[in-house]
Structures are given as structure tokens and as C-alpha cells.
A and B are shown apart, each in its own frame.
Chain A
């Protein structure tokens, strides 16, 4: 079962063609990593998945429906790259508001706050949190809806290694419970934690692979080196 099917997706932003025609699928109940250098179009693609990106042509089907359709909005959670929570509310108030939007109660909100390790900071204003804490508050506001598809734009930036590992464990726990996750990152050591990898470069899909296959194709156990080898091989070979 595929949770997401993207066919010939073309997106222009300003005068630039950011995604020149992408096609791929995302398997359900897995963690799919979206990796690529800065400016390669990861956030643009994620915006298209959640239905807030104007697209030029192509289709994006999420959980069997067109991306962004009303019926999907209680089933898809989205965490933007920059934390998008209300700075003038406490962590708990933020989580409770988003919980209410998803039709859940205060208990679910408090659980989501605890899940991201912010139980002790629940009463603090988001404006008074550290950058990493703010990002986790933003994550909690998506987890609270218990979505079937979670789209996370660089959720682990600015986190210490311990927290990062904890969050990745949580992502996998969610996947085991059936949630589909699409997680973007531009650090290759996170790629190793994904079940599936989509490597993006200048809006084009460089590889639709798995960590094991990428190591084999790139002839290196180091994913970063393997990625670079794949890039060089592509650019060296005639089109």
C-alpha cells in the first residue's frame, strides 16, 4: 500500500521551476527520508504533499485522495521547517488548541507534550523556549492529531544527539503502529535511520532507494560518501 503517489509534479516558485517533474511513491507505515542539499526543493515538495503549495501540473494523491482535500485534513499532520507555534502561548495552550482543531481533548494534548519531552516546560511561553524546544513544541502540535501521515520538515535540527535519537525512536514507534512518516533532512547520518530514501537534487529525484542500496550503489559504507559517489556517477555519465 502506498500512502502517497506523486506523478509528474511540476512546481514553479516565482520565476523558478523548483520541481521540474517528480514522480515517486511513499510506502505506508514506513519512515521515508527526503534528503538533499539546501534549496533542492524538499520544503516545496512537502508543501505540495499537505496541499498548501500551488502546483503547475501533475498529481499528488495522499491516502487515496487529492492532496489538501478537506477529508485529509484530520488525517495528515504537518510540521513546518521553522517552528510554527504561537510564541505568546504556553506549550500546553498551543498543544490544546491544535488538539481541539483535530477534535481531541486536553489529555491527548498533554500526552503529545510529554512525548516530545516538554512535560516540564508545558507551562512555559513558547517565546521563552530554546530553539530546539520550540521545534519540539511545534512537533507536539502535529502529533496531537494522531495523523495517518506525518510530514516533518527537518524536525531534528538544533537538537542534541540524545534527543535526536529519542525522536527517531519515536518516529519508528509511530511507523510500527501504522503511521506513515515523511521526514526531510540534509544531514546524511539521519538517512541511515530511514526505511526508504528519496534523494533530491535541484528538484529532481536523484535516487529512490534504501540506505543499504545506497551504500552498495555508492560503493561506501559511509552514506555521505556513497551519496557523493552517486551524484558524481550521475553527472559524469551522459544523459
Chain B
């Protein structure tokens, strides 16, 4: 007997199709391509903001033997910009998908929920890669940012951070009923991670419980990974572990987002 009575998850979110994932990523990138101003802002804004930080600390003397404040803060910001920007862009994009009815329609096509979400991750992750190359390039040449390790590792960490932002944005958008709500998820999700990541106050100096909270926030590991690259010429084991944790957190958030995306709604 066929039945459609319950809302049991009749279709697993796990039916992955690389073809449908890339088709979706291509579609999202095509949408982006039609929006020239957004592309310009994505590529240029982080560099401009970093420039402001550079000017802020340019003439502040540093203790001999210590890294300059801009080197420390600027490097960290290379990981935080893509995280924040992609979180916002994704949660708005997904909300638009919901309110325009295209999401409902997609759910009636062969594309699986995970294909859809991974497509977003792939699309905005690629955009973030381009953004990171530009920002890291400008930072190291124009602003003389000192990075002891490879700048490509910085780019890699920035991209993983961006994917984390995408994944959390997709997850957050499931709980937003309006644009106003979606935008307010940004400070809720982003600011605590920023406050506790070890940039404002070194983690060793935090109260024990705050340090414990900081331990479970993924951005903490992204910032630690960047600091490792800033310090050592060779990629360290700690750095790779940190990158793994951030990537794992992103995958977990994506899986949760797929699980909270209901095919049937009331």
C-alpha cells in the first residue's frame, strides 16, 4: 500500500549527485555574475578595510622583537572577512530561494537537498577563493603584511573559513522567516566567535569558562591556524589539525542544514 500520510524522511538528503551539485554551483555563480556591484564589493572591500587597519597601526611603535600589531590583526582578519561576508551572502541567498518559491520547486526536482547545499558551498567557496587571492595579494604587497609561512596556506584557510560561513549561513537561514531576522543572525553567530577567537584577548588570559566556550567555536581554530602560518615557515601539525576542525565544523553545519530543510511544509 502506498502512503503519504506521515512526514517521515522519505528521501534521504544523502543522495549525492556531483552533476547536480555542480549544476547548482554554476547557477549560483551565474546569478552572481549578473550582479556586477556585488562582485566588485566582494573583491575590493576586504582589501580596502584591511588598508584602514594598516593605516591605523602604521605609526604605532611596536616592542622590538615582537610582531607588529597590524601583522597579527591583519592576518587574522584575512580569515574573518570571508567568514562574515559569506555567512551574510548565503543566508540572504537562501532566504530569497525560499521566499521566491524556487526552493519549493527545486524540492520537486531530482536535485537532493545536500546537492543544493553543497552547490552553494562550492559556488561561494570559489568566490571566496578569488576574494582571498586578491586580499592576500594586496595585503602582502601594498600593506607589507609579514607572513612567515606560505601565503597559499593563508588563502586555503580563508577559503575553508568562507565555506564555514556558507554552511552556517545555510543553517541559520532555515530559522529565519524574514530578511530582518536573517540579517540579525549575523551578530548572533559571528560576533561571539569573533570576541572569543583569541584576537581581542589572548585565549590564555580568558576566564576558564570563556576559554571553554572558545574551545567549541570553530572560528577559534581558524584564527589559530592563521597565527601558525604567521609564525612558522613550514606548515605545522597544529595548523593542519585546525584546518581539519574548521572543515569538519563546516560539514557538520551543512549536514544539519540539510536535515532541517524540510521537503514537506505546512
Asked if residues A14 and B31 are in contact (CB atoms below 8 Å), the reply is no
Asked if residues B111 and A51 are in contact (CB atoms below 8 Å), the reply is no
Does B58 sit within 8 A of A, measured CB to CB?
no
What's the nearest-Cβ distance from chain B to residue A102, in Å? Answer: 7
Does B110 sit within 8 A of A, measured CB to CB?
yes
Asked if residues B11 and A69 are in contact (CB atoms below 8 Å), the reply is yes
Does A13 sit within 8 A of B, measured CB to CB?
yes
Contacts of B5 in A (CB 8 A): 55-59
Does A205 sit within 8 A of B, measured CB to CB?
no
What's the nearest-Cβ distance from chain B to residue A183, in Å? Answer: 16
State which of A13, A52, A54, A88 has its C-beta within 8 Å of the C-beta of B104. Answer: A52
Does A70 sit within 8 A of B, measured CB to CB?
yes
Number of chain A interface residues as a range: 35 or more
Given contacts A66-B10, A69-B11, A86-B102, contact A51 B266 (CB under 8 A): no
Given contacts A52-B264, A66-B10, A84-B101, contact A78 B30 (CB under 8 A): no
What sequence of 0s and 1s flags, for each residue 4-29 of chain B, a beta carbon within 8 Å of any chain A beta carbon? Answer: 11010011000100011001101100
What's the nearest-Cβ distance from chain B to residue A208, in Å? Answer: 20
What's the nearest-Cβ distance from chain B to residue A65, in Å? Answer: 6
Asked if residues B4 and A84 are in contact (CB atoms below 8 Å), the reply is no
Contacts of A66 in B (CB 8 A): 2-4, 10
Asked if residues B11 and A70 are in contact (CB atoms below 8 Å), the reply is yes
Please measure, in the bound complex, the distance between the C-alpha atom of A83 and the C-alpha atom of B104, giving whole angstroms: 12
List residues of A (77-105) whose CB comes within 8 Å of B's CBs: 78, 80, 82-89, 93, 97-98, 100-103
Does A113 sit within 8 A of B, measured CB to CB?
no
Please measure, in the bound complex, the distance between the C-alpha atom of A193 and the C-alpha atom of B262, giving whole angstroms: 36
What sequence of 0s and 1s flags, for each residue 220-250 of chain B, a beta carbon within 8 Å of any chain A beta carbon? Answer: 0000000000000000000000000000000
Given contacts A69-B11, A100-B20, contact A51 B4 (CB under 8 A): yes
Asked if residues B265 and A54 are in contact (CB atoms below 8 Å), the reply is yes
List residues of A (8-48) whose CB comes within 8 Å of B's CBs: 12-14, 47-48
Please measure, in the bound complex, the distance between the C-alpha atom of A56 and the C-alpha atom of B5, giving whole angstroms: 6
State which of B2, B20, B30, B106 has its C-beta within 8 Å of the C-beta of A89. Answer: B30
Contacts of B108 in A (CB 8 A): 50-52, 68, 73, 76, 78
What's the nearest-Cβ distance from chain B to residue A203, in Å? Answer: 15
Does A218 sit within 8 A of B, measured CB to CB?
no
Does A145 sit within 8 A of B, measured CB to CB?
yes
Asked if residues A73 and B109 are in contact (CB atoms below 8 Å), the reply is yes
Given contacts A86-B31, A97-B23, A101-B109, contact A53 B101 (CB under 8 A): no
Does A182 sit within 8 A of B, measured CB to CB?
no
Asked if residues B4 and A73 are in contact (CB atoms below 8 Å), the reply is no
Contacts of A61 in B (CB 8 A): 2, 4
What's the nearest-Cβ distance from chain A to residue B124, in Å? Answer: 15
Given contacts A66-B10, A70-B15, A101-B111, contact A86 B264 (CB under 8 A): no
Does B37 sit within 8 A of A, measured CB to CB?
no
Please measure, in the bound complex, the distance between the C-alpha atom of A84 and the C-alpha atom of B98, giving whole angstroms: 10
Please measure, in the bound complex, the distance between the C-alpha atom of A54 and the C-alpha atom of B24, giving whole angstroms: 26
State which of B10, B24, B107, B266 has its C-beta within 8 Å of the C-beta of A14. Answer: B266
Please measure, in the bound complex, the distance between the C-alpha atom of A66 and the C-alpha atom of B213, giving whole angstroms: 46
Asked if residues A59 and B3 are in contact (CB atoms below 8 Å), the reply is yes
Please measure, in the bound complex, the distance between the C-alpha atom of A85 and the C-alpha atom of B103, giving whole angstroms: 10
Asked if residues A125 and B104 are in contact (CB atoms below 8 Å), the reply is no
Contacts of B1 in A (CB 8 A): 59
Contacts of A56 in B (CB 8 A): 5
Contacts of A14 in B (CB 8 A): 266
Query: Could you tell me which A residues sit within 8 Å of B by CB distance?
Result: 12-14, 47-48, 50-61, 64-70, 73-74, 76, 78, 80, 82-89, 93, 97-98, 100-103, 125, 141, 145
Identify 12 residue pairs between A and B in the complex whose beta-carbon atoms are under 8 Å apart, listed by A's number.
A53-B265, A55-B264, A64-B2, A68-B4, A82-B101, A86-B100, A88-B34, A97-B26, A97-B30, A100-B19, A101-B20, A102-B109
Query: Could you tell me which B residues sit within 8 Å of A by CB distance?
Result: 1-5, 7, 10-11, 15, 19-20, 23-24, 26-27, 30-31, 34-35, 100-102, 104-111, 262-266
Beyond the given A55-B264, A68-B4, A73-B108, could you list 15 further A-B residue pairs with CB under 8 A, ordered by the A residue number?
A: A13-B266, A54-B264, A66-B2, A66-B10, A70-B10, A70-B11, A74-B109, A74-B110, A78-B105, A89-B27, A93-B27, A97-B30, A100-B23, A101-B109, A102-B110
The 10 residue pairs across chains A and B that have the minimum distance between CB atoms = A84-B101, A100-B23, A97-B27, A54-B264, A66-B2, A60-B4, A50-B108, A70-B11, A101-B109, A84-B105
